[in-house]
Structure 1
């Protein structure tokens, strides 16, 4: 087999969470090390692929929901590799003047993201390479500032992101910094793997991720709820499993899910508005 070629500065021997996610949703932008660790995860939690695909669909529903509430600015943090239901595609279908900035720290993600955006979105979409754990660097980035007016309502998306950040990076503090920068009427959307439903399985997966470029830190519903601070959660609040069925944008009542009950309860999602 021919040796897989990686972009300059990318180590294909270290499993990468973004490329593993790409593998879970059926993408081709991954290396053997990513696939090997992803298969280890699937051996413990076979439904991971269903969960990753559902998260992609969820992002589309969240964007539709927020566009319906008049939001036309989106800051997608930890956006990951380009995939179906990209934020700008959904947003521009409903609001052609919407502005979207994707942010990720991974070189491969940003390279592919910029290539994808070269022919779409024009000046209303940008891909920024940066560390979401350092909010001042993102909020002050010239490309971000060129598209996002933080004096007006903005939607900040943290989808499938925070469970890849360890407590040592103090995610509560940096999420609070983003909340502080948002104008009244803005929204914060979060999806996060929970540790409540299957603590033994999530602990095992956390061990696997010690080989990857990021940790895996699932949290309890109570811990996840704290990320919203004093923002007002949109009813029905922070939901997981079947509790969100039939309530837009958390679930799709027209689609039968392949996930079992335990897997469904492992995924939390919430949207909150800044008063």
Structure 2
């Protein structure tokens, strides 16, 4: 079989569930996620048929070599997973355009993307979106999520339980008067989002989301609309560089750091090593006044080595998302030292004020979470305040 050149074009069509591949020897074809239902697949076929007619796309390459190449490319792009549809053909590849030989090794700026979207590797925020049942994710994320769930089947429920903790703790913070929130590691939007929960209690609440995944930020800017009485901002920054977060114009413009701020690090700290996680927490808390609060979750082995997240840890690491589980003693040393934990203290996530009612989340079906145990979730949760000295 001939060597496989890199595809000329690779773009999403019409959603992350389908990828168009334009290959000089295999032709132009589409690879579709097997979880696309039949109705959506039929609509995709209809769209492709219309586009073929409108744009006079040539017929597909039907030679045995082209067919083998398509199968090989499909196998290579879906390694370690069986969840892929057969190929949907679109048409023959266009004739390659001759380009003059480069005169220097420098790359023209016009060919450089604005940001590396990292779609070829799993990202924790997008894997979390898969586990929550969302659609803003890509094949690498789905492959990683599939493999994690095979090892730890309750992981999707643990992700939903963590989302539920965020809803409860933000509700409690807003009801106690907090109207400023700094959410580190915002993740893919999934309603109700943090600002929606906060603004349902205090419509004038101001929220700044921080993430360093351009996909997250693009969707956040498009989907997270503030109550007109409040405000929402988005910061592109790395949690390992908290000084950059504090220096961001959106933080300075939307938040008054002379007044108490609620800092959320739900679902984040266990993706940072001890040094980075401790620096993030201490730097942010040093920048806000007494009375400010820190809410966070943390994966732990304390509930048993066979707990969901503890079991999945190696799989997260293998997918390029190293995870750092911590014991209760580690959490107190790194994050709670000098703070005043609110009741019930550092506890299994499911036991953190489970009776709190979140009006905007009343429609969510949580019946299957009722039977979960600490072992199933394997995460701590806590809310703590910065005391006056």
Q: Same fold (TM over 0.5)?
A: yes
8 Å contact from structure 1 (residues 15, 211) kept in 2: no
* Distance change (3 Å), C-alpha of 1:109 and 1:246: closer
8 Å contact from structure 1 (residues 126, 143) kept in 2: yes
1:191 aligns with 2:332: no
Q: List runs of 5+ in structure 1 lacking aligned partners.
A: none
Deviations 1:50-105 (CA, angstroms, capped at 9, x unpaired): 11111112111111101111110000000101002211111111111100000001
* Cross-structure match for 1:106: 213
How far apart in 2 are the matches of 1:139 and 1:7? 23
8 Å contact from structure 1 (residues 64, 91) kept in 2: yes
Greater share of helix: 1
* Cross-structure match for 1:232: 340
Give the C-alpha shift of residue 12 in structure 1.
2.0
* Distance change (3 Å), C-alpha of 1:242 and 1:14: closer
TM-score normalised over the length of structure 2: 0.64
How far apart in 2 are the matches of 1:104 and 1:11? 14
How far apart in 2 are the matches of 1:224 and 1:258? 26
Give the C-alpha shift of residue 206 in structure 1.
2.8
Give the C-alpha shift of residue 107 in structure 1.
0.8
**Whose relative contact order is higher, 1 or 2, with alpha carbons under 8 Å and at least 6 apart?**
1
Q: List runs of 5+ in structure 2 lacking aligned partners.
A: 1-16, 22-112
Moved more, 189-198 or 99-108: 189-198
Aligned length: 270
Give the C-alpha shift of residue 196 in structure 1.
1.5
* Distance change (3 Å), C-alpha of 1:73 and 1:225: same
How far apart in 2 are the matches of 1:27 and 1:4? 22
Deviations 1:231-261 (CA, angstroms, capped at 9, x unpaired): 1000221011665465658xx9x96624244
How far apart in 2 are the matches of 1:65 and 1:142? 28
- Aligned match for 1:263, one of 361, 370, 376: 376
TM-score normalised over the length of structure 1: 0.89
Two-structure CA RMSD over aligned residues (Å): 2.6
How far apart in 2 are the matches of 1:237 and 1:247? 16
* Distance change (3 Å), C-alpha of 1:49 and 1:134: same
1:120 aligns with 2:226: yes
- Aligned match for 1:182, one of 288, 292, 295: 288
